[in-house]
Amino acid sequence: MKRHKRARFALILLLIVCMTGCSVENVSIKRRELSDSELIGRVSGLVESQKGIISSYLDIDPALLDEDPDTIVARALEEENGRAYIEFCAAVEDAEDASGVLQKARGLVDAQTYAEIEQQARELEEELQGVASEAAKGLPVAQQEKFFADVKKLAVKSIVLMTAGIVYCFMPEVMLWGKVAAAAGISIAAGATAVTVLSIYEHYKFGRSGDESFKQWLQEVITLPQAEYAIATTVITMGTTLKQGPVVTGIVLCVYAIYQAIDILKPMLETYNLNV
Type and span of the H or E element at 177? helix 177-205
pLDDT at 239 (0 to 100) = 73
Does residue 203 sit within a domain? yes
* Domain extent at residue 87: 36-271
Q: 109 pairs with which residues across the strands?
A: 106
| Cβ(50)–Cβ(89) below 8 Å | no
Compute the 3-state secondary structure of the chain and give helix, strand, coil in percent, each to the nearest 5: 75, 0, 25
Give a yes or no: residue 163 inside a domain: yes
For the beta carbon of residue 205, count every other beta carbon within 10 angstroms: 14
Residue 175 φ/ψ, nearest 5 degrees: -75, 130
Say what the pLDDT of residue 109 is: 94
Residue-level pLDDT at 31: 52
- Which of 79, 60, 39 lies closest to 185, judged by CA? 39
pTM (2 d.p.): 0.77
Query: Is residue 12 assigned to a domain?
Result: no
Residue 197 belongs to some domain of the structure? yes
Instruction: Please report the sign of the dihedral spanned by the C-alpha atoms of residue 180, residue 181, residue 183, residue 188.
Output: positive
For position 264, what pLDDT does the model report?
67
Q: Could you give phi then psi for residue 140, rounded to 5 degrees?
A: -60, 145
pLDDT at 199: 78
What is the crossing angle of helices 141-169 and 177-205, to 10°?
160
Residue 42 lies in a domain: yes
Q: Total structural domains in the chain?
A: 1
Residuewise pLDDT in 10s, the chain (276 residues): 444 434 333 333 332 333 333 333 333 334 557 788 999 999 999 999 999 999 999 988 888 899 999 999 999 999 999 999 999 999 998 778 899 999 999 999 999 999 999 998 888 888 888 777 776 776 677 777 887 888 888 889 989 999 999 999 999 988 999 999 999 999 999 999 888 888 777 766 644 444 444 445 444 443 455 666 666 677 777 777 777 788 998 898 889 888 877 776 666 666 656 554
